[in-house]
Amino acid sequence: MLKRLLTSREALLAAAIILLLAVISTRFPAFVSPQNLGNVFNDTSPLILLAIGQMIVILTKCIDLSVAANLALTGMVLAMLNVAMPGLPVPIIIAIAISLGAVLGMVNGILVWKLAIPPIVVTLGTMTIFRGLIFVISDGKWVNSHEIGEGFKAFTRAAFLGLPTMSWIAILAVLLFSIVMARTTLGRSFYAAGGNPHAATYAGIDVGRTQFWAFTISGALAGLTGYLWVSRYAVAYVDLAGGFELDVVAACVIGGVAIMGGIGTVMGAMLGALFLGVIKNALPVVDISPFWQLAISGGAIIIAVALNSQANREKGRIILKRAEHAT
């Protein structure tokens, strides 16, 4: 049991992150100070939140390319709402963020479930539509820091036990979804629907509806992140978080989520996001150009995929063993 725990993908990834931090600390000891690590975690929180949602979607053999556009649209709606109604309390804003994001996710889910359109096509389409809607509602104008209310901005920055609220929300999401995935029938059906859709159907699981809920969760998390993002950076515009969906998918792949579905954990998605977060924050410190950052992120993805296929090869060896038993 202990051996399995130590050789799990999550443990390997955690070890890789620690190794990475150790290497960085030899040149910049300040990087691994608790304060800075807290900052890195806080910076990575949006990625963690989106990666959790994406992980669930990928589990069901789908992909959600619309998360960053969902985040930006929800963020813009909230920013404009805040300008129009400055007195709106933060809990209401958060409720609106989650609901609006969930509704946008449901659009994806309905199209995949009821019309059986391939998810990559659906979310590529809605991604463009969401970005277009931002332009339509904002006329392409920015909502700037001075227009956004103080309460709106303060929530994310408030600290609690040394960590900003945004970090706590990411931690809560990790805990919540760890329980959902491991201990609820819904979580189990995500794994079953992606692991073998045919078998899941015969077992009485509606695969389409399961995918619908995956997209809804992904959308809700994107909406919530939309508020956190606009609150933290105090700005909303059409291209907000442009291209961020690829970072999200990358975090999942690095975190050991099988792109063919059925395999993945919340912990893995979080560690995948943190791995990218550490690289992103460390490279400027080590004075490496942003272009190298992209190359290194890309390299990490390829290594992760190579490790995945290595794991599959191990399965092949077991088949030979079976042949041994058969004869």
Task: Enter the DSSP assignment of 87.
Answer: T
185 binds other proteins (CB under 8 A): yes
> Using the rule CB under 8 A, is 309 a contact of other proteins?
no
> Judged by CB, which is closer to other proteins: 157, or 183?
183
Stretch that binds other proteins, among 67-75, 99-107, 255-263, 297-305 (CB under 8 A): 255-263
Over the window 134 to 173, marking each residue x when it contacts other proteins by CB under 8 A and - when it does not, the resulting string is ----------------------------------------
Note every long-range contact of 87-93, with CB atoms under 8 Å and residues 24 or more positions apart, other chains counting: 89/151, 90/151, 90/152, 90/155, 93/152, 93/227
Instruction: State yes or no: residue 192 binds other proteins (CB under 8 A).
Output: yes
> Rounded to an integer, what distance in angstroms lies between the CA atom of residue 13 and that of residue 19?
10
318 binds other proteins (CB under 8 A): yes
* Nearer of residues 313 and 315 to other proteins, judged by Cβ: 315
Question: Phi-psi region for residue 241, left (φ > 0), alpha (ψ -120 to 50) or beta?
Answer: left
Query: For residues 184 and 289, which CB has a smaller minimum distance to other proteins in the complex?
Result: 184
Contact status: 191 vs other proteins (CB under 8 A): yes
Interaction between residue 262 and other proteins (CB under 8 A): yes
Q: Which pair of structure tokens corresponds to residue 104?
A: 């946008």
How many amino acids of this chain bind other proteins (CB under 8 A)?
A: 32
Tokens of 320: 């030979």
160 in helix, strand or coil?
Answer: strand
Of 68-76, 159-167, 190-198, 224-232, the segment contacting other proteins by CB under 8 A is 190-198
Sign of CA dihedral 137, 142, 144, 147: negative
Taking CB under 8 A as the criterion, the residue among 139, 150, 287, 324 binding other proteins is 324
| Smallest distance, other proteins to C-beta of residue 59, A | 10
Q: What's the CA gap between 1 and 12, in Å, rounded?
A: 16
State the minimum distance, in angstroms, from the CB of residue 253 to other proteins.
16
* 138 and 259 Cβ atoms separated by less than 8 Å: no
- Decide if residue 204 touches other proteins (CB under 8 A): yes
Query: Interface with other proteins includes 291 (CB under 8 A)?
Result: no
Q: What contacts 167, CB < 8 A, 6 or more positions away?
A: 38, 41, 42, 45
Q: Give the H or E element holding residue 159.
A: strand 159-160
Q: Is 204 left (phi over 0), alpha (psi -120 to 50) or beta?
A: left
The answer to whether residue 202 forms part of the interface with other proteins (CB under 8 A) is yes
Binding-site ranges for other proteins (CB under 8 A): 182-186, 188, 191-192, 195-196, 198-206, 258, 262-263, 315, 318, 320-327
